[in-house]
Amino acid sequence: MGFSGFIKGFSGFYRNKPRIKPYPFGYYKSRASSHSYNFNADDSILPVLIVGAGPVGLVLSILLTKLGVKCAILEKSKAFSSHPQAHFINNRSMEVFRKLDGLAEEIRSSQPPVELWRKFIYCTSLTGSIIGSVDHMQPQDFEKVISPVSVAHFSQYKLSRLLLKKLEDLNFHVHRPESQEDLDSGPLKGGELLMGHECISINATDQSITATASHIVEGKYMERNIDCSILVGTDGAGSTIRNLVGIELRGEKDLQRLLSIHFFSRDLGQYLLNERPGMLFFIFNTEAIGVLVAHDLKQGEFILQVPFYPPQQNVDDFNLEICEKLIFKLVGRELLDIDVIEIKPWVMHAEVAEKFVNCDNRIILAGDAAHRFPPAGGFGMNTGIQDVHNLAWKIASVMKGIAPSSIIRTYEMERRPIAIFNTALSVQNFKAAMAVPAALGLDPSIANSVHQVINDGVASILPSGIQKAILDGIFTIGRAQLSESLLNEKNPLGSSRLAKVRRIFEEGKSLQLQFPAEDLGFRYHEGAVIPDNDSMVGVLEPPTGRRRDYIPSANPGSRLPHMDVRISSNLSSEVTVSTLDLLCGDRVEFLLIVAPLEESYQLARAAFKVAEEFKVSVKVCVLWPADSLDEFEARSKKALTPWKNYIDVVEVRKPSNPSSWWSICQMTDKGAILVRPDEHIAWCVKSGVDKDPVSEMTRVFTAILGVK
């Protein structure tokens, strides 16, 4: 199926009856009526309830709390998981984390050194022959030219611990099951994380959303009703909120079934650290095949993923002893120490929710609740983090009377196309992962077809034991293609297969780790943006499944390009900041970037004036060229008085990229860029405003905020 066909698979809508009753959500008064909302009047109604305390829910709660929006979290698990799960954090997510009180730096200092995880290694066993390897880090990845921060390799449960600490620093209180009796039975005030609370029903009235949560206290089943203005489901791939609301998923189901084995072995970790460090190990031999994820070589923490074929196989077939033997077969020897922690099956899907927003903009899905991807490329958690980064400032705008609730619809307009695109890219990358075993004569699609025939064909009437024997026998024959007598340079067939594998590596057609063009270059073509007629034509370029370089863009909907700048008041210092740092994460604030030209100062004054009418904060950044004379403060002060919310900065050019800021943005210095609180460009003009500046800024803010 081509990209267009894949996208069409998401275009239809199921007709599923929701189990909630939606009513209108408050009301919005005109700007002359002070942006009031009736739901703010009742202190017994929690502004935002988040269901699901994974990384996405935790990040949303931090963002909202920093923006001054009260929220609470429900988590059905009684304790946080120690299963590593996701582990790759891309550039854009790390940029978001830079704004969370130093989180990105904590991750960078806590993660394994990049030399220990930059490669994917393909081998016959972990101690056997290496078929090939791919280094996924390039020199420019360390130069911080396109982003102020690099990607990271950091297990999800470790990330959750850091996020939880950030929440506690913001005066959030974690209520665990054993401490529930200390929890006030009255309305939640915000700042609570309730563990062991499962949302079992949702009821909507014209005043609020009521979520009913069940929990156990000292062996006694109890229920609690929580009234909120907005409910956000970040409760994972099997989302209860999505099911309660009646939102269906669209896409491909059951791409692959796998068994995940979480184990520790310092012996294996030390060996790989010394002999062949890497992040992923693809292992193919006559006894077993599998993919080993090295979460931390120094700690010896691993996840082994192996194909799983129910009903002929079941989880009981993989007890601790069997799993240890399987690991030894893939390692190529017995290990001095091994501690299998958890064994669990999972199913790979490629699906996106038909809607992200429901019930008059009051019930919202984010993260895996809204989209389920193959893990190839690490798009799942990263897309979820970027979902809530998009969402948080919009919720805050509603709660603070800056924008009507309709602005929340732009969350779906902007994020759902990105989720569909990332799903397609993840599927492509997953299929690329299958290219190497297929070239070796072990095509996974054939194995899946054989399994399907056994399940659906004549063999399905045979006793389960015979079905299992047939399946095992066929797979044994298939793995014989990996024998050393066949897979070597002296054997013509083996030599041909190995040459094909080398071409796959050389042409970048194997599984990829980084996608800079997609990680940083995604754009919102409609939503809370002012389309540029020259730049908004067409759709996203179909994914290639290969690494593509990011090209900076100042087109509306794009992420603001990164450039190091020096604040004019501190020119004597070597300290620089990123253009991304010019936005504050503690309030809903827009940033207008202009050059120190008179017509640009006029636009800045107009932006200040209009922002006051809209009761929204605007900061002006006057960006001076690298060779500017020391006249910043005087000129800007004279031009922008009486307004004070402006900053003068000077561009800092790097030898690896000597271009000016305006050249990077592909515009002249007569242009201007208006940036949203989530660091995406809301509006730009590339060569000056040819209209009345006040009228133009009024048009811009009216459209972005959805004010009528």
User: 629 pLDDT band (50/70/90 cuts)?
Assistant: low
pLDDT at 179: 63
Residue 18, Cβ density class (10 Å: 0-12 exposed, 13-18 middle, ≥19 buried): middle
Lowest mean pLDDT of 298-307, 378-387, 479-488, name the range: 479-488
φ, ψ at 665 (rounded to 5°): -80, 0
| 404 upstream amide cis, omega within 30 of 0 | no
More confident residue, 281 or 469: 281
Residue 700, Cβ density class (10 Å: 0-12 exposed, 13-18 middle, ≥19 buried): buried
C-alpha angle with apex 243: 238 to 247, nearest 5 degrees? 110
Lowest mean pLDDT of 533-542, 559-568, 680-689, name the range: 533-542
Write the DSSP symbol of residue 113: P
Parallel/antiparallel/unpaired status of strands 672-675 and 646-651: unpaired
| 311 upstream amide cis, omega within 30 of 0 | yes
AA letter at 198: E
Helices 156-169 and 103-110 pack at an angle, to 10 degrees, of: 140
Residues in the chain: 708
User: 38 pLDDT band (50/70/90 cuts)?
Assistant: very low
3-state SS class at 338: coil
Share of the chain above pLDDT 70, in %: 91
pLDDT at 5: 55
Torsion sign, CA atoms 697, 703, 705, 706: positive
Q: For the residues 533-559, what does the mean pLDDT come to? A: 77
CA distance 566 to 648: 9
R_g over Cα of the chain: 27
Write the DSSP symbol of residue 543: P
Which tens digit of pLDDT belongs to each residue from 228-241? 999 999 999 999 99
Lowest mean pLDDT of 151-165, 227-241, 467-481, 485-499, name the range: 467-481
Write the DSSP symbol of residue 544: -
Q: For the residues 597-606, what does the mean pLDDT come to? A: 96
Statement: residue 6 has pLDDT above 80: no
CA distance 405 to 68: 17
For residues 74 and 194, the answer to whether their CB atoms sit within 8 Å is: yes
Residue 508, Cβ density class (10 Å: 0-12 exposed, 13-18 middle, ≥19 buried): middle
3-state SS class at 447: helix
Taking every pair of Cα atoms in the chain, the longest distance, rounded to a whole number of angstroms, is 88
Statement: residue 444 has pLDDT above 90: no
- Residue in 434, 435, 439, 442 with CA at minimum distance from that of residue 497: 439
More confident residue, 470 or 536: 470
Lowest mean pLDDT of 116-130, 420-434, 473-487, name the range: 473-487
Q: For the residues 123-127, what does the mean pLDDT come to? A: 96
CA distance 542 to 97: 28
φ, ψ at 160 (rounded to 5°): -60, -40
Which tens digit of pLDDT belongs to each residue from 253-287? 988 899 999 999 999 999 999 999 999 999 999 99
Statement: residue 15 has pLDDT above 60: no
pLDDT at 538: 39
Statement: residue 30 has pLDDT above 70: no
Q: For the residues 142-165, what does the mean pLDDT come to? A: 94
pLDDT at 443: 79
Task: Provide the token pair at 238.
Answer: 């099997």
pLDDT at 84: 87
pLDDT at 547: 85
Task: Provide the token pair at 139.
Answer: 């020199």
Which tens digit of pLDDT belongs to each residue from 301-335? 999 999 998 888 889 889 999 999 999 999 999 99
For residues 413 and 404, the answer to whether their CB atoms sit within 8 Å is: no
User: 41 pLDDT band (50/70/90 cuts)?
Assistant: low
Query: In sequence order, what are the beta bridge partners of 194?
Result: 74, 175
pLDDT at 11: 53
Write the DSSP symbol of residue 427: H
User: 357 pLDDT band (50/70/90 cuts)?
Assistant: very high
Lowest mean pLDDT of 153-162, 238-247, 447-456, name the range: 447-456
Residue 660 burial (CB count, 10 A): 16
pLDDT at 7: 54
- Work out the mean pLDDT of the chain and round it to a whole number: 89
- Residue in 428, 446, 403, 463 with CA at minimum distance from that of residue 590: 403
pLDDT at 32: 33
pLDDT at 638: 93
Query: In sequence order, what are the beta bridge partners of 342?
Result: 262
* Distances 42 to 37, 74, 214, 227 between C-alpha atoms, Å: 11, 21, 24, 10
CA distance 698 to 684: 14
Statement: residue 537 has pLDDT above 70: no
Give the end-to-end CA distance of the chain in Å, rounded to a whole number. Answer: 43
